Structure 1
Amino acid sequence: MSRLIVHLLPLMLPFLLYGLYIWHVKRSGKDGPEATPWFWLAAIGMVLMILSFVVYGAFFGETLGDYAPARFEDGRVVPGRIGQ
């Protein structure tokens, strides 16, 4: 669930910021923009989401190596591990 939030938040961030901007403009009594820039909000969100994939993969990615599954040895369970 946390990975989902980590990757969806950057996608939603431009829309949330635009919503705060519109709320602030309406609250101050000024006229807001005539049209919502949906394409640019979505494009910026996609770029941020792709960057989150790159950053997550670069810094928090899987370690390289072969996976040795958990096994039952001498009456006890030996946990799985990733070895070189």
Structure 2
Amino acid sequence: MVEGDTLTAMKKNKKASVEDKSCISALIEEIRARSRRFESISFSFVPRKANNTAHILAEEGKYHACSMYWIEEAPERVEREADQDR
């Protein structure tokens, strides 16, 4: 299950057979290509207010030049937000 706070992107990914010609078409095509690796996948819109921890995690990733993977713990800012969401 993929949740996102960008309604346009979530709608475009649900319509996998429709060719996208928008300014985000490269991103949509990459998401579709990666989606094919899963047996099943679904896309759902979730308002940012309900998805704030994921938003902060994505923001945190912008501060790093290379890919980062947080397995057992996340940056302190993200963990604080997750605690507040509970």
Question: What is the TM-score normalised by the length of structure 2?
Answer: 0.25
Q: Bigger radius of gyration, 1 or 2?
A: 1
Q: Which has the higher strand share?
A: 1
TM-score (norm 1): 0.26
Higher RCO (Cα < 8 Å, 6 or more apart): 2
**1 or 2, which has the higher helix percentage?**
1
